[in-house]
């Protein structure tokens, strides 16, 4: 399954908005077959922050560990956000 982030908005900034998106998307996620990959599609996203991503992407990555894929992006805020999430993950593991 490909999750098109722009369908949640093109400016994905606040923590409450990320949480709301995650909760609202749960019914759709329940239909994903166990063998299927879950891919995040960043196409069309203008602004992404770690606050929004931490409420949406982080729990999805956890939920679909092993079959979770991040699509490509050249948007600077998407790239910087993914870098921040990765650093936080590494720091979490080392603690």
Residues belonging to the chain: 95
The residue range among 26-34, 40-48, 63-71 that interacts with another protein, by the rule CB under 8 A, is 40-48
Q: Does 61 bind another protein (CB under 8 A)?
A: no
Task: Enumerate residues 6+ apart whose C-beta is below 8 A from 46.
Answer: 10, 11, 75, 77
Site string for another protein, 72-91 (x = CB under 8 A): ---xxxx-xx-xxx-xx--x
Nearer to another protein, 9 or 32 (CB): 9
Instruction: Identify the sign of the CA torsion 24, 84, 3, 65.
Output: negative
Contact residue for another protein among 42, 49, 56, 64 (CB under 8 A): 49
The span from the CA of 55 to the CA of 69, in Å, is 17
CA-to-CA distance for 1 and 40, rounded, in angstroms? 9
Residues at the interface with another protein (CB under 8 A): 11, 13-17, 46-51, 54, 75-78, 80-81, 83-85, 87-88, 91-92, 95
């Amino acid at each position: 399954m490909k999750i098109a982030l722009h369908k949640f908005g093109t400016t994905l900034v606040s923590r409450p908005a990320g949480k709301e998106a995650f909760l609202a998307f749960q019914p759709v996620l329940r239909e994903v077959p166990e063998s299927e990959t879950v891919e995040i599609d960043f196409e069309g996203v203008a602004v992404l922050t770690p606050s929004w991503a931490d409420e949406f992407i982080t729990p999805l990555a956890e939920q679909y560990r092993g079959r979770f894929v991040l699509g490509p992006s050249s948007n600077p805020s998407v790239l910087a956000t993914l870098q921040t999430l990765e650093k936080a993950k590494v720091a979490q593991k080392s603690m």
